[in-house]
Chains A and B, each alone.
Chain A
């Protein structure tokens, strides 16, 4: 099966800056694909390379097998939900949603009917007459989504679409987007810097760092077996142990990751690994206790309800050696 989107050693340089640096990736049709990374890691540039707002300096991009090197954005059958939504302020909601059909020469009646249909899909029936300025952030986001989907794109690109929403709305939209993608079966490529968003929504995800893909895989693979220190730290703030410490604790002599929730606090004299509590951060469902051990600081996630140690107390840390995950790369 041809991939929906394929990058063949693609680079995009801005002067001396290598925003995207030799990226290879393949997005299977019908998947929810997330590109995760800190700001400046090249994920948004990758999205813009797919939509055609950027041209690769090197490499080839294929959309459903077709080389799009010479195809301008308006001739690519992909649509984007922009970070700032980019709704046209002089058009009302219905005209905004129908815009893509209008420029393709679809008649007004069909256009309006389709626009209404899409507005119903994003639960904004009856908002057609309003101007974007009269909508809330969440509603604008839905209009942007409807405006993209009305064109029946083969790939939908979403550039941090939930970034401007508050937490509650954000979680609701995450579920809705996911459900919508399942229902429509369109390939979604989703850019985010929020690791929990990427983990919860994506079928597959690529973690970006410095213009390169640090790791690509399913969320559980990436969470459980981070390939590099960067991935371990960025996805789920794992503990990263230097090779010496990992070996002392019974692992391989590699940089290794150890999830905070895999650790348990015990009395100081019952285990080989002991340290001093240097910080406590209450997270609601649990508390992240930072313990200074010789050679590293470890975060331990203590579920709420379990007694907490005092700041400065000596504690022991216990875990299963099997949770110690050696990484391929530093």
Chain B
């Protein structure tokens, strides 16, 4: 006669029994480390940062005055500083928009049509750039965009040099060469952050069943109407997720504008310089708070616009 119970096979079975009797134990074990990390290390340092931004710097001694004041935030509104914020915001918005436009067809293809091997090719193609160092890529782009670089060479070879010159002659974004213009900064930003837009978009589009698109066509919608009223709203959580990446990564980056572009500063660079050589930690902190505020505003606007309705 066989026993009703199977024999216990050691520690694994004992652990399983504990988890079965007390499911919360497993949950606690799983979420305690990330909770500590996010709660203490991340939120903690964020709070410390926020605190710093309410201090100010003594203009004569250059020492931090540990007294609560909004002086540092008012400092942000000075034309030189406000320009940095405006420039960064504009660049982040353009990079996000361009990434979204570029990413959509790729993500749509991957979600709708690619199967098996082609899906693997897609993932490889999107992820491959992430395998090499960010710095290597940025320096490679510096060479590509340089006046003696491959883009100029190809444009001249095709007799399209005038187009390049016209682009560089654009006021505000142009410059001496692509590698020393805002246009160049923009191109490299888009290149570097594009995968972060494609992947969430693809994940969101993957969740839209094909029958949904068929139903739309069946009810009389043209392709453009289906895109506007079905695909876009359903893909929106992915677009927003992707744009959070591209937007905040662009806002915080201080390497790309330093290597490619003009000498005009972006928030990331300003923070880097202020907390380093300038030793103005309060202003650096105040600058660092700006992207956080902008992201909060952006998310609440996106929520109000119904971007998360399909979640």
Binding site for B on A (CB under 8 A): 51-53, 72-75, 78-80, 82-84, 86-90, 99-100, 102-104, 147-148, 151
Contact = CB atoms under 8 A, between A and B. Distances in A.
Contacts of B230: 88
Given A84-B211, A86-B212, A151 B219 contact: yes
A103 B219 contact: yes
Contact of A100 (B214, B219, B222, B309): B219
Contacts, number: 67
Contacts of A75: 220
Given A84-B209, A103-B225, A53 B214 contact: yes
A74 B214 CA distance: 9
Contacts of B218: 51, 53, 73-74, 78-80, 148
Given A51-B214, A74-B219, A151-B219, 6 more contacts: A53-B217, A86-B212, A88-B216, A90-B306, A99-B221, A103-B221
A82 B234 contact: no
Contacts of A72: 217
B263 interface: no
Interface of B: 209, 211-212, 214-222, 225, 229-230, 233-234, 306, 309-310
Given A86-B209, A89-B234, A90-B234, A104 B220 contact: yes
Contacts of A83: 211
B215 A82 contact: yes
Contact of B221 (A74, A86, A89, A90): A74
B110 to A, nearest CB: 22
Given A88-B230, A90-B310, A82 B214 contact: yes
Contacts of A82: 211, 214-215
B310 A74 contact: no
A103 B222 CA distance: 8
Contacts of A51: 214, 218
A86 B220 contact: no
B220 A151 contact: yes
Contacts of A84: 209, 211
B227 to A, nearest CB: 12
A86 to B, nearest CB: 4
A6 B72 CA distance: 78
A223 B233 CA distance: 49
A88 B212 contact: yes
Given A53-B214, A82-B214, A99 B219 contact: yes
A73 B220 CA distance: 7
12 contacts: A53-B214, A53-B217, A74-B217, A79-B218, A80-B214, A80-B218, A83-B211, A86-B214, A87-B215, A90-B306, A90-B309, A99-B216
Contacts of B234: 88-90
Nearest to B214: A53
A231 to B, nearest CB: 30
Contacts of A151: 219-220
B134 to A, nearest CB: 37
A151 B217 CA distance: 13
B211 A74 contact: no
* Interface hub of B215, B216, B217, B310 (most chain A Cβ within 10 A): B215
A260 B220 CA distance: 48
A86 B208 CA distance: 10
Contacts of B217: 52-53, 72-74
A52 B213 CA distance: 13
B180 to A, nearest CB: 45
B225 A80 contact: no
A53 B214 CA distance: 7
Contacts of B222: 74, 103
Contacts of B306: 90
Contacts of B214: 51, 53, 73, 80, 82, 86
A311 B216 CA distance: 57
Contacts of B215: 80, 82, 86-88
A261 B66 CA distance: 96
Given A88-B230, A90-B310, A100 B220 contact: yes
* Interface hub of B212, B217, B310 (most chain A Cβ within 10 A): B217
* Interface hub of A53, A87, A148 (most chain B Cβ within 10 A): A53
Contacts of A147: 219
A73 B215 CA distance: 10
A53 B218 CA distance: 9
Contacts of A78: 218
A102 B216 CA distance: 11
Given A53-B214, A82-B215, A90-B309, A103 B220 contact: yes
